[in-house]
Amino acid sequence: KSYIVIGAGILGASTAYHLAKNGAAVTIIDRKHPGQATEAAAGIVCPWLTKRRNSEWYHLVTEGARYYPTLVGSLQEDGEAETGYKKVGAINIFGEGKESMLQRKFELALERREDTPEMGSITKLSREETHALFPLLADEYSALHIGGGARVNGRAMRDALIQAAEKHGAVRVHGQAQLTHEEDEQVGVIVNGKEVVADDVLVTGGAWAKQLLEPLGLSFQVTYQKAQIIHLQTNEFQTDDWPVVMPPFGQYFLTFGNGQIVVGATAEDGVNDTRVTAGGVYEVLNKAFKVAPGFSDCEYVETKVGFRPFTPDSLPVIGKVPGYANLYTANGLGASGLTSGPFVGKELAALVMDDVTTLHLSNYDVCKALR
């Protein structure tokens, strides 16, 4: 069978990879919209400490985190060593006087590990130990350390997936895809003025999927949240093994090799421009400096902008689009799509190839995002 995948962020790239690896003929179409979420994303893979209590969503992110090592191994077999994934651990930090909160989180983590042993070691760290792990933090924080926490460079992972898909015969086309509709409920695809033909069409277009599906008379409910995220550089430390840092408010820091530091991020609902704003940069750095004063002496490199795609109730949808014989979609990975995306792509590929899916796809019914 043959497939067209429209949208090559982490989700489409993973879908295409799993299809191609299983012998299908795949065409990947991507427009490289400025603001692709995968390109801008931070890269935290540590879903187990979340306060969110939606079990379907939790299932996706924990399966996503669990799947990463298998995927990285599979990509390595395909000659893709640069996946940007590394298990560096994660710390949830707590200020003075918050010892009881830290203790509660510790107990919750132990409880959750019973179902998700890949969380690895769970340790309480003293102020000194915390500071030693991430020396740019103020020295007043103690922490909960999760050994199985990881980071991933979204762009590197996306590229590794696409390149490996190409090795298995996938064809990549740069351009803006449009959908056409014929009378027999078959959806067709046009890109760069030419028709592309395949048995099934898979839409993984993130924040842009609404426009793509409109010509079919579908009102697809995907909203977006603009995020501005800042990259800094230190030449003073070796940062390759530093853990991901999750402060007790909605911000985070992580590092990559060569002194690269990522500080995130704003959450601007419905804002659809890719401007780096003074207010955005101020908000992110102002909050960050309070927790990590060491950042103020780092070099400012750039601010990236991306759009987190959300479907209703912030729950992803995955499956067949009703009313069309050959149209499938997945979307709404929100703020945790680097974590869940590779796994969701694998499941979407399994669905269209009539293989066994491990998810109960009725929990992620596409109808929930259609009006």
Residue from 36, 83, 142, 326 in contact with ligand FAD (CB under 6 A): 36
Report the candidate in 82, 87, 83, 42 with the shortest Cα–Cα distance to residue 260.
42
For ligand FAD, the closer of residues 139 and 273 by Cβ is 273
Q: Does 177 bind ligand FAD (CB under 6 A)?
A: yes
* Preceding amide of 198 cis, omega within 30: no
335 binds ligand FAD (CB under 6 A): yes
Handedness of CA 218, 11, 30, 172 (dihedral sign): negative
The stretch among 18-26, 93-101, 201-209, 321-329 that binds ligand FAD (CB under 6 A) is 201-209
Answer yes or no whether residue 288 interacts with ligand FAD by CB under 6 A. no
In angstroms, what CA-CA distances link 175 with 172, 192, 249, 314? 10, 6, 39, 29
Binding ligand FAD by CB under 6 A: which of 170, 339, 347, 366?
Answer: 339
The binder of ligand FAD chosen from 212, 284, 361, 370 (CB under 6 A):
212
Q: Is 41 in the site for ligand FAD (CB under 6 A)?
A: yes
Contact between 364 and ligand FAD by CB under 6 A: the answer reads no
Cβ closer to ligand FAD: 61 or 144? 61
227 binds ligand FAD (CB under 6 A): yes
| C-alpha–C-alpha distance, residues 15 and 348, integer Å | 6
Q: Least separation, in Å, of the C-beta of 249 and ligand FAD?
A: 15
- Which is nearer to ligand FAD, 234 or 336 (by Cβ)? 336
Would you count residue 298 as binding ligand FAD (CB under 6 A)? no
Of 206 and 259, the one with the shorter C-beta distance to ligand FAD is 206
Is residue 187 within the footprint of ligand FAD (CB under 6 A)?
Answer: no
- Ramachandran angles phi, psi of 130, nearest 5°: -65, -45
For position 173 contacting ligand FAD by CB under 6 A, the verdict is no
- Region from 86-94, 122-130, 267-275, 329-337 binding ligand FAD, contact rule CB under 6 A: 329-337
Tell me which of 24, 40, 91, 245 binds ligand FAD, using CB under 6 A.
40
Interatomic CA distance for residues 224 and 226, integer angstroms: 6
User: With 0-12 CB in 10 A as exposed, 13-18 as middle and 19+ as buried, what is 233?
Assistant: middle
Instruction: Compute, in degrees rounded to 10, the torsion defined by CA atoms 80, 30, 205, 310.
Output: 60
Query: How many amino acids of this chain bind ligand FAD (CB under 6 A)?
Result: 44
Which one, 259 or 342, has the nearer CB to ligand FAD?
342
Contact 151, 254 (CB under 8 A): yes
Residue 42, preceding peptide bond in cis (omega within 30° of 0)? no
Based on CB atoms, which residue is closest to ligand FAD, 49 or 127? Answer: 49
Contact code string over 237-256 relative to ligand FAD, x by CB under 6 A: --------------------
Q: Which of 157, 218, 265, 291: binder of ligand FAD (CB under 6 A)?
A: 265
Q: Which two tokens stand for residue 134?
A: 């991430």
Question: DSSP string of 290-321?
Answer: HH-GGGGGSEEEEEEEEEEEE-GGG--EEEEP
Segment near ligand FAD (CB under 6 A); pick from 3-11, 78-86, 110-118, 358-366: 3-11
Subset of residues 150 to 169 that bind ligand FAD, contact rule: CB under 6 A: 154
Decide: is 280 part of the binding site for ligand FAD (CB under 6 A). no
For residue 157, the SS3 value is: helix
Applying CB under 6 A, does 24 fall inside the site for ligand FAD? no
In the β-sheet with 150-152, what is the strand arrangement from edge to edge? 44-45, 150-152, 85-86
List the beta bridge partners of residue 163.
none
Q: Please, which residue, 84 or 154, has the CB nearer to ligand FAD?
A: 154
Q: Which helix (H) or strand (E) holds 266?
A: none
Contact yes or no for 62/47 (Cβ under 8 A): yes
CA–CA distance from 139 to each of 96, 133, 151, 211, 293 (Å)? Answer: 10, 11, 23, 48, 10
* Binding residues vs ligand FAD (CB under 6 A): 6-12, 29-33, 36-38, 40-44, 154, 176-177, 204-208, 212, 227, 229, 264-265, 306, 308-309, 333-339, 341
